[in-house]
Chains A and B, each alone.
Chain A
């Protein structure tokens, strides 16, 4: 089954404690991205990756890091989480940059930073 898998689904942490949210896809997609979703603000892109070792900032990259060492994995790293990073996070993937490619989303990770 084609899917985008995020872990963990729920996470409560404290300010400053480094954490990683994993994302994996089994569709051999080149393009992967991370979004956060906040009430009233919609989906905002944090980082994206066009392929292995190619990453770039989205609209709200501050406080986040990513890496793309393998095609299937695209982890999101919060080196020193702060309460304003409390949000619902989605990983997404697409085959490549072509216009008609459909983007698939993971189930989401709800993060609370105390």
Chain B
């Protein structure tokens, strides 16, 4: 089982809609969860981080974490064409052995917001 799994998409939503991106992870002891946005050919850019169960909101973005279900999601409200990008979920595992400090990335979900 892969460490971090995301729906590869592509996900297509109209402008103004809510885009919902999902991610599951395998290590129950994982501590930190991040969402990165990556435009084509560019480097990943952090948009949200979440560390405890529940919701965390930042502008149009809301990250949701459910550690019992090993599930983290990103909601983008009022989606804009400029949100069209690949969204990467990253998980920092619990501290042990050779995995200490490592971030594991999902393969990303490609989002297209059409006008």
Contacts and interface: CB of A to CB of B under 8 A. Distances in A.
Interface of A: 31, 35, 40-43, 45, 48, 50, 56, 58, 88, 90, 94, 96-97, 99-100, 102-108, 110
Interface of B: 31-32, 34, 41-46, 49, 51, 88, 90, 92, 95, 98, 100-103, 105-108
A96 B100 CA distance: 11
B103 A50 contact: no
Contacts of B92: 99
Contacts of B100: 50, 97
A40 B43 contact: no
B95 to A, nearest CB: 8
A40 B107 contact: yes
Contacts of A96: 101
Given A99-B32, A99-B92, A108 B43 contact: yes
Contact of A45 (B31, B41, B49, B102): B102
A88 B108 CA distance: 15
A43 B43 contact: no
B106 A42 contact: yes
B43 A105 contact: yes
